[in-house]
């Protein structure tokens, strides 16, 4: 009898389970349908303005990052973004991602019209315990519109614009009512999306919109950030990992747990202070987080395998049982790429480019309208309009340039520079710098610091803020072997950083003016100042080629003409009268003057100051500086009026590295100056050209004069101050035997070292020095340009010439037609005796 009752109970349970489910479904359908209908009528039909219009759906304005491309038009240098989102078309997304997404999130994707009725019924029947009911289309509707709407309203409130009537109405709703209201809107939007777009387009929009965290919005950014791949190259396991994140990117993140600080979470859970949390406890918590990502990936793989077994027609690729078993056993391996405006190749260049692009987009025409505008007349925004900037930077040359700069400073310069400066109790300042000058430099550095500005903003007095720089604190400081955690006073850290050597490098293609490499410093995270365009320092002897060019153009010298190796003076007019004259007689540096004849080309090759002064003297104390200033102006360098004096022949003026390299490029380009540029064109998100670069070129000197100066500069490398570039006796930066012209430069007290290297199709300039001219080498042995700057060029060109991806000429410089008969040709019959045939220069 008892057995019979048990059997009857089982039958009743068997009968009651489906019946109970039916009653639940019926309850929800009957109970919620009126509410949904009322909400639909009240909020959607009567408030159609709150829904996106058809035109909005067809012309979505996503927030897209601007992408910067190298000269190949494919390699990405970086991005400018408020949200790091890059859209890619359907055919550039791995088919594995598409199949994994459909299998996991919406297996009846091709059957429904935006709302999956079966999934809704299942969710209601199981009270949400059997999975959600949102389709990919509904999720997209929420991503694009609901979330965007919330963000816009939040931004409006932040600006003090107040609430609209709709916002006030929504704010009065209960939590459930508000969510139902939003759900109705999402469903209506989803239906509209299905009407306007194909299934492929909806999938593409969803994957391009989803935020995978870690500054990775969209499948393209996520593939790059987590696996250092393109979206098209993701394999099956990686696809499963990223699709798994679509459920909850924070919970199932494959990388986040590796860097997360668990002490706060554990201290709250265990009710203990953070310092009581042990490493073992954090390791256990980290392991638990990592397993979540693994388990979620495996769930995606299983759903994919399950749909593959059922031959789901929506899948574009399938996996077998063997693949599933193999993939689920794999550990998760990421190749995480940190995303930041400063990360990646050419960071100094990208920061400079940001300002240039902004200036271009801000340009207006005579009518006050933006010169380069959107179809609606608005200004383009580099952070959200998805522009594509095609630049002239060559990734391989750039990489070799960055590596060369860091290698030389770290390997050859920093250690002897530090030893040099520690010999004085004024470290790192030179022994002859006065204390009041040091204090002014230190105080200027304090007031430029983030620490000082922050204290002052928070109401701290200037005296207290300055005093705080003497208190030791924890900090992270730069070193050539990586950042160091240490304790020191902010004042000591300022002195420490002033001792770190800085450098800049820029390479230009002389025929086009295209900038191929731009290195503004050793580390942009610690040294943001850009020594290519932003920094201006005394140019020293790098000015001398222009002095000799002006002398030849003026008709007072030729390369092979000689002059006695003696001290020279230049007459300088001090007043308006003829009698108001004095003489400028600088001392020579480095070499003894024995009176023997010296050819002018030898004077340039060995950077002999007295021979350069002789050139200026031959031109005259007034006419000479004016002739040089005119030539420099033709080369796009405006010399200040106070610098147009005889002393300019020794490079006392401050100029930027970019200005100097751009000007010297004319020597290679047949006397034609072409303005340096880094932008080829700018396109909008749809590929329409917004801006196209127009070259700016002009003749600055004759072709024969340019070649004559270039020939003189070649002797700098073959037998002059830059000869270490050819051999290997001085250091491992030599061995560069390809045709090269050059010029070294050293400024007063060895504060700056320069080198200009010219080849037939690449002109490169290098500057090396400290932050302040008061921090410097004590002697010419280390402080000269041939030791400070030239090795960087040598290291770079060693790699450039060996790189199969870089096609740089190894041929001779092109000689002008008929140069054999030129007055400037040292090998010809005419060596400058026939002065009346020399061209005149009107000043």
3-state secondary structure 128-174: CCCCCCCCHHHHHHHHHHHHHHHHHHHHHHHCCCCCCHHHHHHHCCC
pLDDT confidence bin for 820, thresholds 50/70/90: confident
Other Cβ atoms closer than 10 A to 30: 9
Considering the chain, what is the average pLDDT of its residues?
A: 84
Q: Which alpha helices (DSSP H) does 606-702 contain, by range?
A: 609-619, 623-634, 657-668
Residue 826 confidence (pLDDT) above 60: yes
Query: Which segment, 78-87, 185-194, 785-794, is predicted with the most confidence on average?
Result: 785-794
pLDDT digits (tens, 9 = 90+) for 426-460: 999 998 899 999 999 999 999 998 889 888 888 88
d(Cα 736, Cα 793) in Å, to the nearest integer? 10
Q: Which alpha helices (DSSP H) does 363-468 contain, by range?
A: 395-408, 414-421, 435-448, 450-457, 462-467
CATH 1.10.3810.10 in the chain is located at 85-328
Residue 301 exposed, middle or buried by CB count within 10 Å (0-12, 13-18, 19+): buried
Tokens of 496: 């420490």
Residue 268 exposed, middle or buried by CB count within 10 Å (0-12, 13-18, 19+): exposed
Terminal Cα-to-Cα distance of the chain (whole angstroms): 127
Q: What is the pLDDT of residue 539?
A: 95
Can you give the length of the chain in residues? 843
Q: What is the pLDDT of residue 23?
A: 62
Q: Which alpha helices (DSSP H) does 674-761 contain, by range?
A: 703-718
pLDDT confidence bin for 417, thresholds 50/70/90: very high
Q: Which residues have C-beta within 8 Å of that of residue 35, sequence separation ≥ 6?
A: 180
Q: What is the pLDDT of residue 259?
A: 62
Q: What is the mean pLDDT of residues 662-666?
A: 97
CA-to-CA separations, 224 to 96, 456, 608, in angstroms, rounded: 16, 41, 54
pLDDT digits (tens, 9 = 90+) for 356-413: 999 999 999 988 889 999 888 889 988 888 899 999 999 999 999 999 999 999 999 9
- In the block, which residue shows the tokens 């300019």? 648
pLDDT digits (tens, 9 = 90+) for 517-553: 999 999 998 998 999 999 899 999 999 999 999 999 9
Sign of the Cα torsion 528, 533, 538, 540 reads positive
Q: Using DSSP, how many helices (H) and how many strands (E) does the chain show? A: 31, 20
Q: Which of 13-22, 642-651, 715-724, 817-826 has the lowest mean pLDDT?
A: 13-22
Q: Of 121, 115, 110, which is closest to residue 137 (Cα–Cα)?
A: 115
3-state helix, strand, coil in the chain (%, to 5): 50, 10, 40
Does the domain spanning 503-554+641-831 belong to CATH 3.30.470.30?
Answer: no
Give the CA angle between residues 322, 324, 326 to the nearest 5°: 70
d(Cα 318, Cα 296) in Å, to the nearest integer? 18
pLDDT confidence bin for 735, thresholds 50/70/90: very high
- In the block, which residue shows the tokens 């949200």? 83
CATH 3.40.710.10 in the chain is located at 503-554+641-831
Q: Which alpha helices (DSSP H) does 499-575 contain, by range?
A: 544-554
pLDDT confidence bin for 843, thresholds 50/70/90: very low
Helix (H, G, I), strand (E, B) or coil at 498: helix
pLDDT confidence bin for 254, thresholds 50/70/90: confident
pLDDT confidence bin for 829, thresholds 50/70/90: very low
Sign of the Cα torsion 466, 470, 474, 478 reads positive
Name beta bridge partners: 385.
64
Residue 428: asked if its preceding bond is cis (omega within 30°), the reply is yes
pLDDT digits (tens, 9 = 90+) for 553-598: 999 999 999 999 999 999 887 766 556 678 888 876 556 788 899 9
Tokens of 170: 């929504």
CB-facing half-sphere around the CA of 408: CA atoms within 13 A: 31
Q: Do residues 489 and 471 lie in contact, with contact meaning Cβ atoms separated by under 8 Å?
A: yes
Q: What is the mean pLDDT of residues 255-268?
A: 71
Give the CA angle between residues 750, 756, 762 to the nearest 5°: 160
Look at strands 473-477 and 502-509 and give their pairing.
unpaired
Residue 499 confidence (pLDDT) above 90: yes
pLDDT digits (tens, 9 = 90+) for 27-73: 555 555 544 544 453 444 434 455 555 444 445 556 678 899 999 99
d(Cα 602, Cα 712) in Å, to the nearest integer? 8
Q: What is the pLDDT of residue 147?
A: 55
The region, left, alpha or beta by phi > 0 then psi within -120 to 50, assigned to residue 754 is beta
Residue that wins the pLDDT comparison between 125 and 241? 241
Long-range contacts, 114-122 (Cβ 8 Å, 24+) = 114/138, 114/187, 114/190, 114/191, 114/193, 114/194, 115/187, 115/190, 115/191, 121/25
pLDDT digits (tens, 9 = 90+) for 298-329: 999 999 999 999 999 989 899 999 999 999 99
Sign of the Cα torsion 73, 78, 80, 86 reads positive
Residue 797 confidence (pLDDT) above 90: yes
Q: Of 425, 412, 414, which is closest to residue 479 (Cα–Cα)?
A: 414
Tell me which H or E stretch contains 654: strand 654-656
Q: Of 514, 536, 534, which is closest to residue 524 (Cα–Cα)?
A: 534
Q: What is the pLDDT of residue 137?
A: 84
d(Cα 177, Cα 566) in Å, to the nearest integer? 96
Q: What is the pLDDT of residue 830?
A: 40
Tokens of 436: 């009041």
| Superfamily in which the 85-328 domain is placed by CATH | Biosynthetic peptidoglycan transglycosylase-like (1.10.3810.10)
Q: What is the DSSP string of 84-142?
A: -B----GGGS-HHHHHHHHHHH-TTTTTSSS--HHHHHHHHHTTTTT-----HHHHHHI
Residue 217 confidence (pLDDT) above 70: yes
């Amino acid at each position: 009898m008892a057995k019979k009752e048990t059997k009857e109970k089982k039958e009743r349970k068997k009968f009651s389970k489906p019946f109970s489910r039916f009653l639940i479904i019926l309850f929800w359908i009957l109970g919620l349908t009126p509410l949904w209908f009322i909400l639909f009528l009240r909020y959607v039909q009567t408030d159609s303005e709150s829904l996106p219009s058809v035109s909005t759906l067809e012309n979505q304005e996503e927030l897209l990052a601007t992408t910067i491309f190298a000269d190949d038009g494919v390699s990405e240098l970086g991005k400018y973004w408020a949200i790091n989102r890059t859209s890619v078309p359907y055919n550039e997304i791995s088919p594995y991602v598409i199949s994994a997404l459909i299998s996991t999130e919406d297996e009846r994707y091709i059957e429904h019209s935006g709302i999956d009725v079966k999934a809704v019924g299942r969710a209601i029947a199981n009270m949400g315990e059997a999975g959600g009911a949102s389709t990919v289309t509904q999720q997209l509707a929420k991503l694009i519109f609901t979330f965007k709407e919330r963000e816009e309203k939040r931004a409006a409130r932040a600006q003090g614009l107040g609430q609209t009537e709709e916002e006030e109405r929504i704010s009065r709703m209960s939590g459930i009512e508000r969510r139902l209201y939003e759900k109705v809107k999402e469903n209506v939007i989803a239906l509209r999306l299905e009407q306007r777009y194909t299934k492929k387009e909806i999938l593409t929009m969803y994957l391009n919109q989803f935020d995978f965290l870690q500054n990775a919005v969209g499948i393209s950014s996520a593939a790059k950030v987590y696996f250092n791949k393109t979206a098209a190259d993701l394999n099956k396991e990686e696809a499963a990992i990223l699709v798994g994140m679509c459920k909850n990117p924070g919970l199932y993140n494959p990388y986040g747990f590796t860097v997360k600080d668990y002490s706060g979470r554990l201290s709250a859970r265990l009710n203990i202070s953070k310092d009581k949390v042990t490493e073992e406890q954090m390791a256990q918590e980290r392991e638990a987080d990592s397993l979540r990502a693994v388990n979620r990936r495996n769930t995606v793989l299983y759903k994919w395998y399950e749909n593959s077994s059922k031959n789901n027609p929506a899948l574009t690729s399938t996996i077998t049982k063997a693949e599933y078993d193999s993939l689920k056993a794999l550990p998760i391996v990421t190749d995480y790429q940190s995303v930041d405006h400063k990360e990646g190749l050419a960071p100094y260049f990208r920061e400079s480019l940001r300002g240039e692009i902004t200036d271009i987009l801000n340009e207006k025409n005579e009518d006050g309208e933006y010169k380069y505008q959107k179809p609606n007349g608005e200004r383009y925004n580099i952070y959200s309009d998805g522009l594509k900037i095609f630049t002239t930077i060559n990734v391989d040359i750039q990489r070799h340039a960055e590596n060369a700069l860091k290698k030389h400073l770290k390997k050859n310069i920093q250690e002897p520079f530090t030893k040099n400066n520690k010999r004085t109790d004024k470290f790192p300042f030179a022994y002859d710098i006065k204390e009041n000058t040091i204090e002014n430099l230190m105080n200027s550095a304090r007031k430029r610091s983030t620490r000082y500005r922050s204290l002052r903003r928070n109401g701290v007095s200037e005296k207290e803020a300055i005093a705080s720089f003497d208190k030791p604190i924890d900090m992270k400081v730069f070193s050539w072997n990586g950042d160091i955690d240490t304790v020191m006073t902010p004042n000591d850290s300022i002195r420490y950083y002033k001792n770190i050597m800085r450098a800049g490098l820029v390479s230009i293609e002389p025929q086009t003016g295209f900038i191929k490499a731009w290195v503004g410093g050793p580390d942009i995270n610690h040294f943001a100042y850009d020594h290519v365009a932003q920094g201006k320092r005394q140019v020293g002897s790098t000015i001398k080629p222009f002095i000799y060019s002006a002398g030849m153009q003026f008709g007072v010298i030729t390369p092979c003409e000689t002059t006695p190796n003696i001290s020279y003076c230049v007459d300088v007019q001090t007043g308006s009268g003829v009698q108001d004259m004095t003489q400028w007689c600088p001392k020579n540096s480095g070499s003894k003057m024995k009176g023997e004849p010296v050819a002018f080309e030898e004077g340039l090759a060995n950077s002999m100051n007295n021979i350069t002064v002789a050139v200026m003297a031959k031109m005259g104390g007034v006419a000479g500086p004016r002739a040089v200033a005119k030539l420099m102006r033709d080369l796009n360098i405006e010399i200040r009026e106070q610098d147009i004096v005889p002393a300019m022949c020794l490079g006392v003026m401050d100029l930027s590295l970019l200005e100097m390299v751009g000007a010297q490029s004319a020597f290679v380009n047949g006397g034609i100056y072409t303005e340096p540029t880094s932008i080829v064109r700018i396109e909008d998100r749809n590929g329409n050209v917004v801006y196209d670069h127009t070259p700016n070129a002009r003749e600055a000197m004759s072709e024969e004069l340019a070649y004559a100066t270039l020939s003189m500069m070649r002797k700098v490398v073959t037998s002059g101050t830059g000869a270490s570039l050819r051999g290997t006796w001085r250091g491992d930066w030599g061995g560069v035997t390809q045709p090269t012209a050059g010029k070294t430069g050293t400024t007063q007290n060895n504060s700056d070292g320069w080198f200009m290297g010219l080849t037939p199709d690449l002109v490169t300039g290098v500057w090396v020095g400290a932050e302040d001219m008061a921090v410097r080498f004590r002697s010419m042995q280390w402080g000269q340009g041939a030791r400070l700057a030239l090795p960087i060029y040598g290291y770079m060109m060693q790699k450039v010439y060996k790189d199969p991806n870089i096609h740089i000429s190894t041929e001779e410089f092109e000689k002008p037609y008929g140069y054999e008969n030129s007055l400037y040709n040292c090998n010809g019959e005419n060596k400058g005796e026939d002065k009346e045939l020399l061209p005149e220069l009107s000043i």
